[in-house]
Chains A and B, each alone.
Chain A
Amino acid sequence: MKKSEDLIKGAFSPQKKKASLPWSGLVFWLVIALWMVPVAWLILMSVRPSVDILSGFEIIPHRFTFDGYRDFILKEMWYKAYLNSLTYSTLNTIFSVTLALPAAYAFSRFSFAGDKHLFFWLLTNRMAPAAVFLLPFYNMYNAVGLFDKTLGVAIAHMLFNVPLAVWILEGFISGIPRQVDETAAIDGYSLPKFFVKIFLPMIRSGIGVTAFFCFMFSWVELLIARTITSTDAKPISAAMTRTVSSSGTDWTLLSTAGVMTIIPGVLAIWFVRKYIAKGFALGRV
């Protein structure tokens, strides 16, 4: 009797720990700690003077400096490149999500001529190797006056972010029962009105997750962004490839820039941490 009670109790307490061994939590955090060692080393390097870094190997530095961070914030070359990256990533996120929403809705709710082929064709663009697009992008964006503009990079990154956004959003939208649409239609809502007033609030978390991934993939991309910019819209990642000067690499500044580029992503993921598992659960990333 006692035993079956336990079982019933277990059935209703989802947090109940079973099967997992007591030390597995500890192992997990050990793995994470190990995983973070290179990043910790980067952070450590960013607060050491370049001279010290090169003069001799030491694990615990004997002096610190914040010159790297000061330079990063004060030198136009750096903060401008940083702002450029933020600008095109944000623009790209807005464009991609806005365009993808109606398309994702269409793919989820309607069947139309060629829909399956179209969906596959969109997906293949997520897989397209960036290197393939370098030459034509360079020539095309020059021809239409989008070369070296943050807007240009934002548009170029839609290459992989629009298909991705459609894919993730389609998953979230399909999770909402069709009856919702039908009820709204009976209540006299037109499609656009229903979409904005009722539907968008319902898929809030999906939009959040999609926006996160669009921002992230635009933020981390280097090859395309570097190819279609030169000075005005140069991304932070390209600026970093120029820390090598005649006097060698400025390791402090390179590390500082590295640490700075990690910050937006960490902030973004903190905001969407509750929804992210849901997004992954749909298997759509």
Chain B
Amino acid sequence: MKTRNNKAWFLVLPVILVVAFTALLPLMTVANYAIQDVFNPQSRIFVGMKWFYQITNDQLIISAFKRSFQFSIQALLIQIPLGIAIARIMPKSGWRASAALVAVSVPLIIPWNVIGSTWLIFSRSDIGLGGFLLNKLFNFDFTSDPKDGWGLILTVDVWHWTPLVVLLVYAGLRSIPQAYYQAAAIDGASSFAIFRYVELPKLRRVLLIAVLLRFMDSFMIYTEPFVITGGGPGDATTFASILLTNIAVGQFDVGRAGAYSLIFFIVIQIMSFLFYTVLTLQDREEVTKTK
């Protein structure tokens, strides 16, 4: 049992102060913008909920959110199974395991805009290996065909983030005691049965975390589409973050961006809360079981 000690607050205080400065204060500023119409620093008027009404009826914004949501779901559907499949065939010991870990992690340590540039260079039909070949095969051109643009950004997200799923699942697999596999071997379980009844239940927690992180980060994707398609062709890859950045930094429309930010933030918070609740509920179930 943890010791009850309210003095522990002092240990947490520095973190709270920093997060207050980097997160809370900006959010309050955003909230402040959201209820005003700012012409310049000297003249601003209180407009109440005007921006919120406008945004919740703005077709551009609603479709950007829908797009982000759709994108996250598709990304999850590909990345989670693919991540599990790769993790299962990863070398498990010796220098090969180390080399595999480093190789798998490479996409994760590349700056996001460089990932964009890498894929831009790779996918352009004039200079890129992938783009050139696909263009010959079926006229692939992500700069003009919305489907190709969407497919490319999805591919990039899969390329970029499946390794995270692989690493999480790999670590989860490693923590399964050998005895489970032996028991399964004695029972003559097939490879699929081992996966379904031994590995999958043990991976539940890790997978939940993977789903949470992947869903959230795909939902907030910005840099890759910004570099590769710039939100196009048309608005095929204008995701929620891209549109927000355009309004905030591009048009400097402070009030509208403020209200948009708050709504965006709240949507994300609600989703995190749902995931977090499921996660902690499961922990509690496990604790009661072991008791």
Contact = CB atoms under 8 A, between A and B. Distances in A.
Given A53-B127, A277-B170, A216 B19 contact: no
Interface in A96-133: 99-100, 102-103, 105-107, 109-113, 115, 118, 120, 122-125, 127-133
Question: How would you classify the secondary structure of chain B's contact residues: helix, strand, loop or mixed?
Answer: helix
Given A159-B22, A162-B19, A237-B111, A129 B220 contact: yes
A269 B98 CA distance: 10
Contact of A18 (B15, B121, B185, B265): B185
Contacts of A247: none
A284 B122 CA distance: 33
A125 B19 CA distance: 8
A145 interface: no
Interface residues of A, number: 103
Contacts of B6: 112-113
Given A37-B129, A277-B170, A14 B178 contact: yes
Interface stretch (A67-75, A198-206, A258-266): A258-266
A45 B126 CA distance: 13
A258 B10 CA distance: 43
Contacts of A113: 6, 9
A277 B90 CA distance: 13
Contacts of B137: none
A273 interface: yes
B175 interface: yes
B22 A258 contact: no
Contacts of A78: none
Nearest to B254: A135
A285 B164 contact: yes
B137 to A, nearest CB: 14
Contact of A36 (B106, B121, B185): B106
Interface string B118-151: 1101100011111010000000000000000000
Nearest to B167: A280
Given A37-B129, A135-B248, A276-B167, A156 B22 contact: yes
Contacts of B264: 129, 131-132
A85 to B, nearest CB: 8
Contacts of B127: 45, 53-54, 57, 251
A216 B106 CA distance: 11
A128 B8 CA distance: 26
Interface in A134-172: 134-140, 155-156, 158-159, 162-163, 166
Nearest to B216: A127
Nearest to B257: A135
A276 B108 CA distance: 13
B45 interface: no
B222 interface: yes
Given A35-B159, A110-B5, A280-B171, 11 more contacts: A19-B181, A57-B127, A102-B12, A124-B269, A131-B241, A155-B18, A159-B19, A222-B113, A266-B102, A276-B101, A283-B168
Per CB-CB distance, the 10 closest pairs between chain A and chain B, nearest first, are A265-B109, A280-B171, A136-B26, A110-B8, A106-B11, A136-B29, A24-B89, A281-B171, A106-B8, A102-B11
18 contacts: A10-B185, A19-B184, A38-B130, A39-B106, A39-B118, A99-B18, A103-B14, A106-B9, A109-B2, A110-B8, A129-B268, A131-B220, A159-B23, A223-B245, A258-B114, A273-B102, A276-B101, A280-B172
Interface of A: 7, 10-11, 14-15, 18-21, 24-25, 27-28, 31-32, 35-39, 41-42, 45, 53-54, 57, 59, 95, 99-100, 102-103, 105-107, 109-113, 115, 118, 120, 122-125, 127-140, 155-156, 158-159, 162-163, 166, 216, 219-223, 227, 236-237, 240-241, 251, 254-255, 257-258, 261-262, 264-266, 268-270, 273-274, 276-281, 283-285
